[in-house]
């Protein structure tokens, strides 16, 4: 007699997966889980399964819907979400957002940004999204085809810590499993007409390319989803490598020679990582390849390389990045005895010394000590008996390129230059042997 195989019913499969993610995330009794509810089948199934689990889990369930105002049906979708929440006894948070149809980022991206900004305002401990494994696979393929690197190919996570944390409890499930749950439970959901619109490249991939791929490679979806998890790991490792390389190269302002001893790949990785840490988009690979080439050619020469939105500056043995193509304006500050004053993206530190640096007494005697930029007519005598030299002459002699000159910090004591970063201390402010002094250091 043939054995009858017991198949787990679709609702149990989904519930088990969702409960597993909640447990792994450590969702605690009394915490609020808010479902980002589009009203489509995925987030409807997610909300429904969470509603069934909430007695067991002791968490409070809510849902938030974002009305983008883009579809003629948007009002109806919002009402359908409200009705579903009422039926399930779930608190409902509706949001209306404005999306510019001519947004340079594209309509989909603009809607997405507005949606995420609205969802970030929901008062909850966890925001839950309805992405499943097919979404993960399609996203990977889509991004690779649009030129993504390791970062862009890194997949979504099931659990992301944060305030609120983010959950994707359906990420391990196939679209078909989610649909089976919806049918088994007799759920109604919204079909967004734009999903069927194959003008959107993403939908073309879903409806035309994926079926062909799966025909030829039946495991295409789980395999691609696994690859995106590997890209994520690789991306995290690249971040760790960048951090190690940064520390080994001296921290925020990098030691140029140490940096150049790294392989081209590691220099590019470090620059890319630092640019992202500034909240900017990493430049295209070709641009970074060229930047590293120029850095190697320039060796110790001053260099100012625009990387689009960020400038890579190198001077003497130091290398640093500045946001924006313009040289940032430095804010002048009055010194009130602090041992540290901020200067641009860096700072000026006054290190206590004896018989060295600026005379502390001279600073304390002064009416006004300011840290600011150069001014017209600035001149400085580096040593007693030596002539006073103009700022321009001093810079030329020190080989300081024109672009760096406006960024040099100047300590101005009662209207007179006492110290200029990269140049030095004026003879009349130098402290005598045995006298308490401070040595200014500019840390970029």
Ligand X SMILES: Nc1ncnc2c1ncn2[C@@H]1O[C@H](COP(=O)(O)OP(=O)(O)OP(=O)(O)O)[C@@H](O)[C@H]1O
Residues 10, 17, 25, 38: which binds ligand X (CB under 6 A)? 38
Residues 73, 112, 258, 276: which binds ligand X (CB under 6 A)? 112
What is the distance between the alpha carbons of residues 40 and 200, in angstroms, rounded to a whole number?
Answer: 18
**In the 8-state DSSP scheme, what is residue 158?**
S
130 near ligand X, judged by CB under 6 A: yes
Strands of 99-164 (E only): list them: 126-128, 159-160
Residue 40 annotated as binding? Answer: yes
Piece of the chain touching ligand X by CB under 6 A; list 8-16, 35-43, 260-268, 435-443 = 35-43
Residues 54, 93, 131, 444: which binds ligand X (CB under 6 A)? 131
61 near ligand X, judged by CB under 6 A: no
Size of the site for ligand X (CB under 6 A): 14
Q: In the window 248-307, what residues touch ligand X (CB under 6 A)?
A: none
Q: Is 62:33 a contact under the CB 8 Å cutoff? A: yes
43 near ligand X, judged by CB under 6 A: yes
181 near ligand X, judged by CB under 6 A: no
Q: Is the dihedral of CA 242, 248, 251, 254 positive or negative?
A: negative
129 near ligand X, judged by CB under 6 A: yes
Considering the complex, state which of residue 225 and residue 420 has its C-beta at the smaller distance from ligand X: 225
Piece of the chain touching ligand X by CB under 6 A; list 33-41, 49-57, 334-342, 426-434 = 33-41
Residue 390 annotated as binding? Answer: no
What is the distance between the alpha carbons of residues 252 and 347, in angstroms, rounded to a whole number?
Answer: 11
Residue 346 annotated as binding? Answer: no
Element (H, E) at 233: helix 220-248
Report, in Å, the least distance between residue 43 CB and ligand X: 4
Report, in Å, the least distance between residue 36 CB and ligand X: 3
66 near ligand X, judged by CB under 6 A: yes
What is the distance between the alpha carbons of residues 248 and 406, in angstroms, rounded to a whole number?
Answer: 29
Q: In the window 298-337, what residues touch ligand X (CB under 6 A)?
A: none
**In the 8-state DSSP scheme, what is residue 137?**
H
Report, in Å, the least distance between residue 192 CB and ligand X: 8
177: left (phi over 0), alpha (psi -120 to 50) or beta: alpha
Residue 42 annotated as binding? Answer: yes
Beta strand 159-160 with 32-36 is unpaired
Residue 414 annotated as binding? Answer: no
Sequence-distant (≥ 6) Cβ neighbours of residue 356 within 8 angstroms: 431, 437, 439
Residue 39 annotated as binding? Answer: yes
Q: Using alpha carbons only, what angle is made at residue 330 by residues 328 and 331, rounded to the nearest 5 degrees?
A: 140
Token readout for 205 is 């991939």
422 near ligand X, judged by CB under 6 A: no
133 near ligand X, judged by CB under 6 A: no
Sequence-distant (≥ 6) Cβ neighbours of residue 154 within 8 angstroms: 228, 231, 232, 234, 235
Q: Which residues bind ligand X (CB under 6 A)?
A: 36-38, 42-43, 64-66, 112, 115, 129-131, 135
Annotated binding site for ATP, which residues? 38-43
Residues that constitute the known binding site: 38-43
């Amino acid at each position: 007699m043939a054995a009858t195989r017991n198949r787990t019913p679709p609702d149990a499969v989904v519930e088990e997966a969702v409960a597993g993610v909640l447990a792994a995330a450590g969702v605690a009794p009394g915490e609020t889980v808010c479902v980002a509810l589009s009203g489509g089948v995925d987030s409807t199934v997610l909300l429904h399964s969470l509603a069934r689990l909430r007695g067991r889990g002791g968490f409070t369930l809510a849902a938030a819907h974002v009305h983008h105002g883009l579809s003629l049906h948007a009002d109806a979708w919002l009402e359908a979400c409200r009705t579903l929440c009422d039926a399930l006894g779930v608190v409902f948070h509706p949001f209306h957002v404005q999306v510019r149809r001519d947004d340079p980022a594209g309509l989909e991206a603009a809607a997405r940004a507005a949606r995420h900004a609205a969802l970030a305002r929901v008062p909850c401990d966890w925001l839950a999204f309805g992405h499943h494994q097919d979404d993960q696979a399609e996203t990977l393929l889509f991004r690779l085809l649009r030129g993504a690197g390791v970062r862009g190919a890194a997949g979504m996570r099931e659990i992301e810590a944060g305030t609120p944390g983010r959950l994707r409890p359906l990420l391990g499930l196939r679209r078909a499993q989610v649909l089976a749950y919806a049918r088994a439970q007799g759920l109604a959901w919204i079909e967004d007409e734009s999903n069927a619109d194959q003008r959107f490249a993403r939908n073309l991939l879903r409806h035309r390319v994926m079926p062909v791929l799966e025909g030829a490679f039946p495991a295409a979806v789980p395999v691609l989803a696994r690859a995106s998890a590997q890209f994520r790991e690789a991306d995290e490792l690249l971040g760790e490598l960048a951090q190690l390389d940064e520390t080994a190269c001296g921290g925020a302002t990098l030691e140029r020679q140490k940096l150049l001893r790294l392989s081209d790949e590691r220099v590019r990785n470090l620059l890319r990582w630092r640019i992202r840490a500034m909240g900017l988009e990493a430049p295209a690979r070709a641009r970074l390849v060229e930047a590293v080439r120029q850095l190697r050619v320039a060796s110790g020469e001053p260099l100012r390389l625009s990387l689009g939105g960020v400038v890579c500056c190198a001077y003497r043995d130091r290398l640093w990045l500045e946001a924006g193509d313009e040289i940032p304006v430095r804010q002048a500050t009055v010194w009130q005895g602090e041992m540290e004053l901020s200067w641009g993206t860096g700072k000026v530190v006054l290190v206590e010394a004896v018989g060295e640096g600026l005379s502390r007494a001279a600073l304390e005697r002064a009416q006004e000590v300011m840290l600011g930029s150069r001014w017209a007519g600035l001149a400085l005598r580096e040593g007693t008996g030596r002539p006073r030299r103009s700022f321009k002459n001093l810079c030329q002699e020190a080989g300081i390129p024109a672009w760096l000159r406006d960024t040099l910090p100047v300590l101005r004591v009662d209207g007179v230059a006492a110290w200029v970063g990269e140049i030095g201390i004026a003879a009349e402010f130098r402290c005598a042997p045995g006298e308490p002094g401070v040595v200014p250091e500019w840390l970029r």
